[in-house]
């Protein structure tokens, strides 16, 4: 009788122990799988304002920037770059242009005066030529042979002089034309340079091409630009994004490349407001793998996702976010809680409840999610296993 009571007490204790253990069932379903990555909000429609391309200028100093986050209208001045260097060059070129214009006017007057003098000289030479010709023609028997020869020589000299002055006029006209062409070339050159410098100075005032919110750009060290700082050609001073068309840029580890595809759904949680989540979808995958940075030698690739029903009041470019990419394959499989799985020398097993004791059941596992794992063999749908 006493032995029977002991056995009954032991059995009751075992039954009580079994009833206290949590039990879960093997169920059929789609394994929920996510890849957790980080990203940054950007606008898919952003206007970037950069220093203008100006000849012989590679560096610019920022004199003024519209406050970051401020709303601007189309046509507002949003940035001002230093104009002192171009203004100095404009002063020099303007002085050169003014000097050239004066030289051109002086040269034209001098040329006209010189040609007028030569024309008067030519008229006088022609008059002397005519006198010499008449002397030769009217010479008769009363004129000595010596005088006739003299008249003839004077006539030849007078004719030669007329020809010489004609040649001088021709050469002077050609020389004057060349001098004017040279000065006209200098004038055109300086006019173009002055116009280009004026246009360059005007372009150093950056005007908003559309309304929106101001977002500062980054310098070559990755820091936000600031007033007084020097920037270079190609640097973005500021941008004006369209907040109605936001997207998220992500970096995904190389090891996940085979599991990420265009069209996959995802959840986005802003670090600034993690309580809310937004739905999105991968719309672009980068084709090039790269190292994240010198400090983190992780190979990654870039991806871009759309954001459904973006909150224009909350979302701002540059905000960081955590993204969960859904990589489930929509195929139903046998699933069990990860907490129910144990390991012995690399082999997976679970405990199944029994009337008197629990049994160890070895299983084969498939894909693993965040909370569940696929059972490929060892258990059937509806089987119960114990949770720790």
- d(C-alpha 57, C-alpha 82), whole Å: 12
- d(C-alpha 250, C-alpha 39), whole Å: 4
Please name the residue that has the structure tokens 């008229």: 123
Q: What percent of the chain has pLDDT over 90?
A: 51
What was the pLDDT predicted at 312?
Answer: 84
What was the pLDDT predicted at 20?
Answer: 63
Burial group, residue 88, by CB count within 10 angstroms (0-12, 13-18, 19+)? exposed
Look over the chain and give the mean of its residue pLDDT values, rounded to a whole number.
87
The number of angstroms, rounded, from the C-alpha of 257 to the middle of its chain's C-alpha atoms is 27
Q: Which of these, 213, 236, 206, lies nearest to 224 by C-alpha position?
A: 236
Question: 223 φ, ψ to 5°?
Answer: -95, 155
Of residues 8 and 61, the one with the higher pLDDT is 61
Q: pTM of this prediction?
A: 0.58
Helix, strand or coil for residue 219?
coil
What was the pLDDT predicted at 250?
Answer: 92
The answer to whether residues 194 and 97 touch, using CB atoms and an 8 Å cutoff, is yes
Name the maximum alpha-carbon separation found in the chain: 194
- d(C-alpha 27, C-alpha 374), whole Å: 10
Instruction: Tell me how long the chain is.
Output: 388
The phi-psi region of residue 330 (left if phi > 0; otherwise alpha if psi is between -120 and 50; otherwise beta) is left
Res. 267 pLDDT band, cuts 50 70 90: very high
C-alpha separations of 263 from 283, 326, 327 in Å: 6, 10, 10
Res. 15 pLDDT band, cuts 50 70 90: very low
Average pLDDT over residues 7-26: 55
What was the pLDDT predicted at 147?
Answer: 79
pLDDT digits (tens, 9 = 90+) for 123-159: 998 998 888 888 887 777 777 778 778 888 988 998 9
| Crossing angle of helices 84-138 and 145-203, rounded to 10° | 170
List CB contacts of 388: < 8 A, sequence separation 6 or more.
Answer: 22, 339, 340
pLDDT digits (tens, 9 = 90+) for 63-115: 999 999 898 999 999 999 999 999 999 999 999 999 999 999 999 999 899 98
C-alpha separations of 251 from 36, 283, 322 in Å: 10, 14, 11
């Amino acid at each position: 009788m006493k032995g029977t009571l002991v056995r009954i007490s032991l059995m009751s204790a075992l039954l009580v122990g079994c009833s206290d253990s949590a039990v879960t069932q093997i169920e059929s379903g789609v394994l929920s799988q996510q890849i957790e990555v980080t990203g940054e909000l950007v606008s898919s429609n952003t206007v970037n304002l950069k220093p203008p391309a100006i000849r012989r200028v590679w560096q610019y100093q920022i004199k003024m920037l519209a406050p970051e986050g401020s709303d601007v209208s189309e046509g507002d001045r949003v940035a001002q770059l230093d104009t002192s260097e171009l203004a100095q060059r404009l002063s020099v070129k303007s002085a050169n242009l003014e000097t050239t214009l004066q030289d051109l006017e002086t040269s034209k007057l001098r040329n006209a005066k010189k040609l007028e003098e030569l024309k008067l000289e030519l008229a006088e030479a022609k008059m002397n030529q005519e006198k010499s010709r008449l002397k030769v023609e009217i010479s008769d028997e009363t004129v000595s042979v010596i005088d006739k020869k003299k008249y003839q020589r004077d006539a030849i000299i007078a004719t030669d002089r007329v020809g010489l002055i004609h040649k001088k006029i021709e050469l002077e006209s050609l020389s004057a034309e060349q001098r004017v062409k040279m000065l006209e070339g200098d004038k055109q050159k300086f006019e173009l340079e002055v116009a280009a410098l004026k246009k360059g100075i005007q372009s150093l005032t950056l005007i908003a091409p559309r309304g929106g919110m101001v977002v500062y750009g980054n310098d070559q060290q990755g820091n936000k630009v600031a007033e007084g700082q020097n920037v270079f050609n190609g640097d973005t001073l500021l941008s004006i994004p369209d907040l109605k068309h936001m997207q998220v840029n992500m970096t995904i580890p190389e090891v996940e490349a085979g599991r990420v595809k265009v069209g996959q759904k995802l959840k986005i949680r802003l670090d600034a407001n993690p309580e809310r989540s937004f739905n999105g979808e991968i719309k672009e995958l980068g084709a090039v793998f790269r190292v994240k940075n010198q400090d983190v030698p992780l190979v990654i690739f870039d991806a871009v996702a759309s954001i459904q029903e973006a909150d224009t009041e909350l979302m701002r470019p540059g905000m960081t976010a955590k993204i969960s990419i859904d990589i489930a394959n929509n195929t139903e499989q046998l699933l069990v809680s990860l907490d129910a799985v144990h390991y012995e020398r690399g082999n997976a097993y679970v405990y199944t409840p029994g009337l008197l004791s629990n049994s160890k059941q070895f299983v084969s596992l498939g894909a693993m999610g965040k909370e569940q794992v696929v059972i490929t063999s060892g258990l059937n749908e509806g089987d119960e296993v114990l949770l720790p």
